[in-house]
């Protein structure tokens, strides 16, 4: 098998085969505290409540929303793709009165429209890097104008791949996942909560497992830790290794690597005569959407192309999701996968299977 999008940083492999300690073992707690500190650096925040939540990115989304929403709370949600849709649905299920601000899939959200949607929302929620379309939304502009509202941002596809500046941008809650640009296996949702948001956590969130008030007691460093649930020690150990590798490389250097690989990928796709879906002004480097061409080889569906890439070249690319199903391919270039050799391999493979 060649490199696929779920190819973690090599440092992770060693962490995954280390002996499994207890979740209250002092050695593990030290590793947990260090992981939280590494996540603070990567989120560019000093937020005390910063931790790897048990569960995938979606658990981070759910935790962010259920802990800030009491029934009837007004929540403005930006929707320009599948994950914005998901945020709106999670907020609705938490009992919010959701005010949707839509933009067409493939275009960025309008920050002014988000800010003008309601005079005094409890919170504004948006996706930074919309993985379904390859579009980057402007978070800083919303943070600058949010007034008394809290700002909740999905950084699942952005963290570790492009700039995410939680404190500078005025983000109150950001969550991510372990398996995309952070280059660890799936299973954890890094999350960070500002003091301002912490003061407004609802008293009785509609989830016991994801109650950040309870979880905060477990991750606080030093004495006085209280048991909430058993931390997935092996996953934390893997994330510890991946974040360590990222910080050793340097956050800016990792972003630059993603930028260069993303640019080389986009250039190469255009040289193959393919059309990129997201506009160049808001295009993500780490997730490139390309329009499925009309002239596929005879008898080949777009799914056949993806199957061939995987079977013959060991390269996995994503199908279109939601309303873009069948219309685009989504090519991830994330974390340890964002390497020039992988870009070159994908371009050669795609050229061959498309007969271009
Ligand atoms: C992948 C993704 C999610 C969901 O994360 P899971 O780890 O699959 O639960 C949420 N938001 C965005 C923007 C994503 O790309």
- Final residue in a domain of this structure, among 217, 249, 281: 249
- For residue 308, the CA-to-ligand 1 centroid distance in Å is 26
Pocket test for ligand 1, best of 89, 156, 174 (most atoms within 8 A of CB): 156
- Model pLDDT for residues 234-278, shown as the tens digit of each residue: 999 999 999 999 999 999 999 999 999 999 999 999 999 999 999
Residues 219 and 332 in one domain: no
Closest residue by Cα to residue 336 from 183, 186, 155 = 183
Q: Is 169 in the pocket of ligand 1 (CB under 6 A)?
A: no
Regarding whether 268 and 229 lie in a shared domain, the answer is no
For ligand 1, say whether the CB of 85 is within 6 Å of any of its atoms: no
pLDDT value, residue 220: 78
Q: Quick one: which of 98, 87, 43 has its CA closest to 65?
A: 87
Instruction: Please indicate, yes or no, whether residues 241 and 295 belong to a single structural domain of this protein.
Output: no
- Which residues fall within 8 angstroms of residue 104, CB to CB, at 6 or more apart? 80
Q: Both 350 and 279 in a single domain?
A: yes
Residue 8 confidence (pLDDT): 84
Task: Tell me how far apart the alpha carbons of residues 192 and 126 are, in angstroms, rounded to a whole number.
Answer: 15
In the structure encoding, which two tokens stand for residue 205, read together?
């969130």
H or E, element range at 143: helix 139-145
Judgement on whether residues 350 and 327 belong to the same structural domain of the protein: yes
Rounded to 5 degrees, φ, ψ at 306 are -65, -40
Say which CATH number the domain at 57 has.
3.40.640.10
How many angstroms does the Cα of residue 58 sit away from the middle of ligand 1?
A: 6
The SS3 assignment for 10 reads coil
If you measure from the C-alpha of residue 27 to the centroid of ligand 1, how many angstroms do you get, rounded to a whole number?
Answer: 30
Q: Is there a domain that residue 34 lies in? A: yes
Report how far ligand 1's centroid is from the alpha carbon of 179 (Å).
Answer: 9
- CB-ligand 1 contact for 83 (6 Å cutoff): yes
Domain end point (choices 200, 232, 249)? 249
The structural domain count of the chain equals 2
The secondary structure of 220-289 as a DSSP string is -SSS-----S---HHHHHHHHHHHHHHHHH-HHHHHHHHHHHHHHHHHHHHHTT--BSS-GGGB-SSEEE
CB atoms under 10 Å from CB of 40, counted, come to 19
- CA 231–ligand 1 middle distance (angstroms): 21
Domain that residue 180 falls in: 10-249
pTM: 0.97
**Residue in the block written with tokens 């909740």:** 152
Q: Is there an atom of ligand 1 within 6 Å of 185 CB?
A: no
CA atoms of 41 and 165, how far apart (whole Å): 10
Q: Let me know the angle formed at the C-alpha of 125 by 121 and 127, rounded to the nearest 5 degrees.
A: 160
- pLDDT score, position 3: 39
What pLDDT is attached to residue 6? 60
Specify whether 162 is located in the same domain as 311.
Answer: no
CB 76 within 8 A of CB 101: yes
From residue 108, how far is each of 89, 219, 279 by CA, in Å?
Answer: 20, 36, 9
Ligand 1 proximity of 156 Cβ (cutoff 6 Å): yes
Task: Give yes or no: residues 306 and 203 share one domain.
Answer: no
Give a yes or no: residue 1 inside a domain: no
| Three-class DSSP labels, 160-227 | CCECCCHHHHCCCEEECCCCCCCCCCCCEEEEEECHHHHCCCCCCCCCCCCCHHHHHHHHCCCCCCCC
- Residue 205, in any domain of the structure: yes
Q: Show the low-confidence residues of the chain (pLDDT under 50).
A: 1-5
Residue closest by Cα to atom 14 of ligand 1:
156
Residue partners of 335: CB distance under 8 A and separation at least 6: 7, 8, 9, 160, 161, 180, 181, 182, 183, 184, 242
Predicted local confidence at residue 225, as pLDDT? 85
Q: Three-class SS of residue 19?
A: coil
Rounded distance, CA 241 to CA 239, Å?
5
233 with 258, same domain: the answer is no
- State pLDDT tens for residues 12-53: 999 999 999 999 999 999 999 999 999 999 999 999 999 999
Nearest atom within ligand 1 for CA of residue 287: 15
Would 2 be classed as within a structural domain? no
Are 268 and 154 in the same domain?
A: no
Co-location of 70 and 141 in the same domain = yes
State the distance from the centre of ligand 1 to the C-alpha of 177, rounded, in angstroms.
7
Residue 229 sits in the same domain as residue 301: no
Which of 214, 249, 284 delimits the end of a domain? 249
């Amino acid at each position: 098998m060649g490199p696929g999008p779920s190819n973690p940083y090599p440092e992770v492999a060693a962490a995954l085969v280390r002996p499994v300690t207890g979740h209250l073992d002092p050695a593990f707690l030290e590793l947990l505290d260090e992981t939280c500190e590494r996540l603070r650096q990567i989120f560019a925040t000093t937020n005390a409540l910063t931790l790897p939540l048990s569960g995938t990115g979606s658990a981070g989304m759910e935790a962010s929303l259920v802990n800030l929403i009491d029934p009837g709370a007004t929540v403005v949600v930006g929707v320009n793709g599948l994950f914005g849709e998901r945020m709106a649905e999670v907020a609705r299920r938490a009992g919010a009165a959701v005010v949707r601000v839509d933009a067409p899939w493939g275009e960025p959200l309008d920050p002014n429209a988000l800010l003008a949607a309601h005079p005094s929302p409890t919170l504004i929620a948006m996706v930074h890097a919309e993985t379904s379309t390859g579009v980057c939304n402007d978070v800083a502009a919303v943070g600058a104008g949010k007034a008394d509202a809290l700002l909740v941002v999905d950084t699942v596809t952005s963290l570790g791949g492009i700039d995410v500046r939680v404190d500078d941008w005025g983000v109150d809650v950001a969550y991510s996942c372990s398996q995309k640009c952070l280059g660890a296996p799936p299973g954890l949702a890094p999350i960070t909560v500002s003091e301002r948001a912490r003061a407004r956590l609802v008293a009785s969130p509609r989830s016991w497992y994801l109650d950040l008030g309870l979880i905060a007691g477990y991750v606080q460093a030093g004495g006085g830790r209280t048991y909430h649930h058993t931390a997935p020690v092996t996953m934390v150990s893997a994330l510890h290794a991946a974040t360590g590798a990222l910080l050793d490389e340097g956050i800016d250097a990792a972003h630059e690597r993603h930028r260069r690989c993303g640019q080389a990928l986009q250039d190469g796709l255009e040289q193959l005569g393919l059309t990129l879906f997201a506009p160049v002004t808001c295009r993500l480097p780490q997730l490139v959407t390309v329009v499925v061409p009309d002239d596929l080889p005879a008898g080949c569906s777009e799914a056949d192309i993806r199957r061939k890439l995987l079977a013959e070249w060991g390269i996995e690319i994503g199908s279109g999701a939601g309303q873009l199903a069948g219309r685009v391919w989504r090519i991830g270039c994330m974390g340890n996968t964002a390497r020039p050799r992988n870009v070159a391999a994908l371009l050669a493979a795609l050229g061959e299977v498309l007969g271009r």
